[in-house]
A and B are shown apart, each in its own frame.
Chain A
Amino acid sequence: MIKDTKFFIENPYGRWVRDNLFSSSSSAFLTFFAGFMVIYSYRGIVGFILNPERMWTSVTYNMKLYMILAYPDEAMIRVWLSVGLALILGGLSIGFYNSGKTISLGGIFQKLFTISAVIALLIALAPTNTNVIQNDGSIEVVEIISRDIRMLILGPSLVLTLAFFFLRNIKIKNLFNTAKVNLTYFGLIIGSLYFIKIPTISLDSSGERIIPDPFLPIASTTYIPWTILYVAMLLFFFIGSLLKNRDIKIMARLIPISWFLCPLFIFSWIFKKPLVELNTVFSADIPSILVFGIIGFLIIRFSDNESIGVYRTPINIGFLVLSIIVFLLPLVFIFKATMVLLLLLLVVSPAIATTKEGKRQLFIVWIVSLFVLTFLIRGASSDTMLVTPTGSIFGGFSLTWLLAIFGTYASFPLGLALALGRTSTLPVIRIICTGIIEIVRSVPYITWLFFASVMLTVFLPTGVEFNLIIRVLILTAFFSGAYFAEYIRGGLQSIPKGQYEAANAIGMNPFQRIFLVIVPQALRTIIPTLVGSVITSFKDSSLVAIIGLFDILRIGTSVIPAQSQPVVFIGRNLEQLVFLSFFFWVFTFVFSRRSMKFEKRLGLGER
């Protein structure tokens, strides 16, 4: 298309333009067409957002409502503790798993050059006017970006672009760690909370709105907690780096386990503020730990005893029957839950507790997991001390997280069981599992949610009543369990037959074969799919808005558009939905990008 003049052959930019934009006449046409479409839609979107009809203060003013709904003000510290715990853990893992990748000063300037160039381009292309449809159907043209504002942003960004353009060829040997650079960027964002000012709704002492809206920093009430959290995150980043340098191996196991336990701990103890009575602790928890600790000790001690080894199968079956009996008896819930853990120990111990060292380690693991389980269940099963007008401490974004995380946690074991059942060689079990999976999968999630909200109570014995959130969680567990089952089945089918035969050859029983050989390998191959389905369940959790749970979407679509005190936000739907789209987008996008990097590090799909 383009004549091969000197510019397009020798200049690298010219070559790039020729190869990627004008390689043929149809490509040139596409370039103009697509370019026009992109610019047109960009201008449309900017016009839509900056339209004077939009009232963005309805979003910023209600940010607290969005995040935690009606969580009591005096317990706000608990919310910050929850966020802080996650951030601290994040800082620790960034420090500990720091890959040591570095970036040169020139590289940083290259990135900054790109960013400032994009900003300059965007502001240059932004529309000056936008159309406002009046009530009588006529269209009025309104100026949204005045010449002064455009120049105010365009000038500095052009100067910066030029500066970075020359700076990026700088030859300095200094290399910077990418993790540290990213943390600095994060710090800049936190710092900008102090500087960038926007019009904010504020009320005077008598509850009247101050007009015009005063300019205040973004997140004017929360920048101090954010700063403290950021400092704590930095601190733990350095602790993580230190641990990595000291080469402490156990952290490599502890960090994933803490990531697993962190949401459980947050939701059962920090966010909830449980009402724990010492009476129940002494009458139920401590006896349970003692009894099961001793039983576990005995199991580990005698697991390789030859005279008992003969009776292993009857003992296993006996414990299975015992646990079913314990389940049916009206005992404390902690006993029942610990019984399941004991069954797991019974299966695992003959394979691990073969040496003195192995026995010692297994015993430590056993005692720690007993304590953790009892601790979490005590928090989770107690009533909360917090009083909220909605009757539930979960609402808004915290409810979205609760549903996404616990939906995943509960559905995973169920999905594993269903997948194992579906791949089983026993026809009856296989057909039942296949039937459950297919029926659950072929009916949409929203109908299952209706089932949870109006029908599940019918099927429960009189006297047993669950909160709507719990009912939704039960159904979610089933629904995503069926999906997980299909993914896990894919993983199970990818395991070569030799693995089964090898496990049989060294004399493993079916449970050991499945849980020590097959399942770990199957799970490893499907980590990418599982991460994808976690993202899906995060997105799907927004559906609970339809059945009346106050999650972030319902707050945006029915609570805020009905507000008339202290400011009238009636009918402000569009702003909320744009904000929610952006909000969900940020989380899922970042999560999916992180998981891609994580996959690369695991080396999946490259074997």
Chain B
Amino acid sequence: MLGKVLKNFDIRTFWRDVRFLKWAGQVLFLVLFAYSLLLFVQTGINNLQSTNIPFSFDFLGDTPGVSIAEGFETLPDSGLRMLHVGMFNMIRIMIGGIIVATIFGTLLGIARLSSNWIVEKAATSLLEVVRNVPLLVQILFFQAFLLSFPRLEERDRGEIMFHVSSKGIAYPWPERQESAFMFFGLLLITIYLARTVFKWRVSLLEKEGRDTNPFLWSFLTFLVLTFGNWVGGYKLMGIIGLISGYISTMFDSIPSIAYQGLFSVTAVFLGFRYIRKQIRNTDTGEIRGILSDDDYFRIILSGVVAVFVVLLMFMPFGQNLTYFLEGDELFYKSNWGMPQFFDGVAKRFDFNISGPPVIMSYPEIVQAGTTKFTRYSPDLGKVTTVGYFATWFGVTLYTAIFISEVVRSGIMAISKGQSEAGLSLGLRRRSLLRLIILPQAFRVMLPPMGNQYLNLAKNTSLGVAVAYPEVVAVGQTLYNQEGQTLPVFLVWMIFYCSISLSISSIINYYNRKMKIVER
């Protein structure tokens, strides 16, 4: 074959061949791009060296010596731990924001389509106000608004139900006890059972044609089981703990070479399957198609990735990564922390645990240490700080407004015939919306909704303006302390990229699942 190619080779036509020009252009582009990137990075490294702060990730292991205003740990012992607190704070706002914004946005979107004049106009004016004011201004306004409340004084001390001051908002909150994990684990199973009962009653209804009260049945099942769960039924979940304990010991006894082998084989197998799929795609059975540039590229890329994973597993490179952080096992562990995980599960699901799963806890205003200042007790009730409230409320309201637009356009996209058909079947307006319009609109709404969730996740970074310690604010504190700006920026980038990737992959998964099956 090579001989044939060489025989036909002609230098005069070769350099004018489109295929040659295309690849030559791309290689030239790649070289130029890589060169300029290298130049950029090299200048950066040189400049950093000359400023006596060489690029390093050492600060992740050092004790930062600063405290964080809120989070699961206010005085972290390492930079990495501090960043974890920031990340956790960011995710806390993101999840709370996504849930509330979706509910509120959907309601607002339906209100904008309401036939009631006042409801429609009120929703539209709220939309026009919130949409046209920068988010940062709104967040700062909410902060300033809360700060304008009176300060906590000595005379306020004592137990309270609900309290607003310039320190934040305090309210009662059900506090998780030891048995909570088992309770909620069993609750999930209960929900599944209730759903099964519902389906069974519905199928009975369809078969026999009499009213079988599916909702009542499933609700009663849920109530009875949950009551049993609450008074002690959760002890059943101890079985999971027992099994987890055995799994943990099993994982512990497997040598690390087995993990390395397992992951390498999986990587090679997946890579091989992908390449085979790419080649077979063009093969219709009768004729072999020509592989395009893209196909070649994908094949080469997947091969390289598979080889890289194997290298990562078996070369000392993997071990080196471990020492990269001065013993902080962040990136690489041959068993991927599985024994520890199952150990934790075994500890939380234990037969010996008893007591109610949640207890209502009421906030209290107490003296701050031995000082003359007054504050909310950190352990009792729930206290929403000013920064958290301003960021969460601003971001949620802003996103809800955009979600309402998404919902509105999604509902408008459903043809009128659908609602007419539903009405002619005798459905009520509420059932029509729930059973016919919203499920169809959901399909149209999903991709733009995912974009709004991404925007919400990114907008939480504005917490830095109101001193809420999310990942950007924490990173800023860290680099002010240590001077390592570039590594902190890399951490931000990796964190936000992975958050975006996970949100968009969840949305894509649902999008694929919801798509109308076409030929």
Binding site for B on A (CB under 8 A): 19-21, 23, 27, 30-31, 34-35, 37-38, 133, 135-137, 425-429, 431-432, 439, 441-447, 450-451, 454-455, 458-462, 539-540, 542-543, 545-546, 553, 557, 573-574, 577-578, 580-581, 584-585, 588-589, 592
CA distance A20 to B115 in the complex (A): 6
Please choose the segment from B6-14, B173-181, B340-348, B486-494 that sits at the chain A interface, where 4 or more of its residues have CB less than 8 A away: B486-494
Min Cβ gap A46→B in Å is: 15
Which among B22, B141, B499 is the interface contact of A574 at CB below 8 angstroms? B141
Tell me if A34 and B119 are in contact (CB < 8 A).
yes
Tell me if A539 and B134 are in contact (CB < 8 A).
yes
Which among B26, B47, B118, B496 is the interface contact of A426 at CB below 8 angstroms? B26
B496's nearest neighbour on chain A, judged by CB, is: A443
Min Cβ gap B492→A in Å is: 5
Tell me if A34 and B116 are in contact (CB < 8 A).
yes
Tell me if A459 and B114 are in contact (CB < 8 A).
no
Min Cβ gap B135→A in Å is: 7
A574's nearest neighbour on chain B, judged by CB, is: B144
Question: Taking the complex as formed, is B297 at the interface, i.e. its CB lies under 8 A from any CB of chain A?
Answer: yes
Which among A20, A21, A136, A546 is the interface contact of B465 at CB below 8 angstroms? A546
Answer whether A137 and B153 are a contact pair too, CB < 8 Å, given A446-B464, A455-B485: yes
Tell me if A439 and B30 are in contact (CB < 8 A).
no
- The contact sample of 25 A-B pairs, CB cut-off 8 A, is A21-B116, A21-B117, A30-B118, A31-B119, A426-B25, A428-B297, A429-B29, A442-B501, A445-B458, A446-B464, A447-B461, A450-B472, A451-B489, A458-B51, A458-B486, A459-B40, A460-B43, A543-B134, A545-B136, A574-B144, A577-B137, A584-B137, A585-B133, A588-B131, A592-B132
Which among A34, A427, A444, A450 is the interface contact of B118 at CB below 8 angstroms? A34
CA distance A158 to B335 in the complex (A): 80
Query: Residue-by-residue, is B14-40 near A (CB-CB < 8 Å gives 1, otherwise 0)?
Result: 000000001001110110010000001
Interface residues of B in 150-204 (CB under 8 A from A): 150, 153, 156
A457's nearest neighbour on chain B, judged by CB, is: B47
Min Cβ gap B367→A in Å is: 18
A543's nearest neighbour on chain B, judged by CB, is: B136
Answer whether A444 and B145 are a contact pair too, CB < 8 Å, given A21-B117, A426-B293, A461-B43: no
User: What chain B residues lie within 8 Å of A30 (beta carbons)?
Assistant: 114, 116, 118-119
B151's nearest neighbour on chain A, judged by CB, is: A135
CA distance A459 to B461 in the complex (A): 24
Question: Taking the complex as formed, is B218 at the interface, i.e. its CB lies under 8 A from any CB of chain A?
Answer: no
Tell me if A447 and B472 are in contact (CB < 8 A).
yes
User: What chain A residues lie within 8 Å of B26 (beta carbons)?
Assistant: 426-429
Tell me if B493 and A581 are in contact (CB < 8 A).
no
Interface size of B as a range: 35 or more
Tell me if B497 and A581 are in contact (CB < 8 A).
no
Tell me if A38 and B118 are in contact (CB < 8 A).
yes
Min Cβ gap A162→B in Å is: 24
Min Cβ gap A549→B in Å is: 13
Query: Residue-by-residue, is B117-129 near A (CB-CB < 8 Å gives 1, otherwise 0)?
Result: 1110010000011
A592's nearest neighbour on chain B, judged by CB, is: B132
Which among A23, A458, A542, A545 is the interface contact of B485 at CB below 8 angstroms? A458
Tell me if A580 and B137 are in contact (CB < 8 A).
yes
Question: Taking the complex as formed, is B361 at the interface, i.e. its CB lies under 8 A from any CB of chain A?
Answer: no
Query: Residue-by-residue, is B293-322 near A (CB-CB < 8 Å gives 1, otherwise 0)?
Result: 110010000000000000000000000000
Min Cβ gap A545→B in Å is: 7
Question: Taking the complex as formed, is B212 at the interface, i.e. its CB lies under 8 A from any CB of chain A?
Answer: no
Answer whether A574 and B133 are a contact pair too, CB < 8 Å, given A34-B118, A589-B128: no
Question: Taking the complex as formed, is B138 at the interface, i.e. its CB lies under 8 A from any CB of chain A?
Answer: yes
CA distance A213 to B168 in the complex (A): 36
Tell me if A459 and B43 are in contact (CB < 8 A).
yes
Answer whether A447 and B493 are a contact pair too, CB < 8 Å, given A30-B119, A577-B140: yes
7 shortest interchain CB distances as A-B pairs: A442-B500, A20-B117, A444-B458, A588-B132, A428-B26, A444-B461, A539-B134
Tell me if B145 and A574 are in contact (CB < 8 A).
yes
CA distance A450 to B128 in the complex (A): 31
Answer whether A581 and B138 are a contact pair too, CB < 8 Å, given A447-B461, A451-B489: yes
Tell me if B485 and A442 are in contact (CB < 8 A).
no
Known: A135-B150, A447-B472. 19 other contacts (CB 8 A): A20-B115, A23-B115, A23-B116, A428-B29, A429-B29, A431-B297, A442-B454, A442-B499, A447-B493, A459-B47, A540-B134, A542-B134, A543-B462, A546-B465, A553-B137, A577-B144, A584-B132, A584-B134, A585-B132
Question: Taking the complex as formed, is B106 at the interface, i.e. its CB lies under 8 A from any CB of chain A?
Answer: no
User: What chain A residues lie within 8 Å of B133 (beta carbons)?
Assistant: 539, 581, 584-585, 588
CA distance A447 to B489 in the complex (A): 8
User: What chain A residues lie within 8 Å of B496 (beta carbons)?
Assistant: 442-444, 447
Question: Taking the complex as formed, is B149 at the interface, i.e. its CB lies under 8 A from any CB of chain A?
Answer: yes
Question: Taking the complex as formed, is B148 at the interface, i.e. its CB lies under 8 A from any CB of chain A?
Answer: yes
Query: Residue-by-residue, is B459-478 near A (CB-CB < 8 Å gives 1, otherwise 0)?
Result: 10110110000001000100
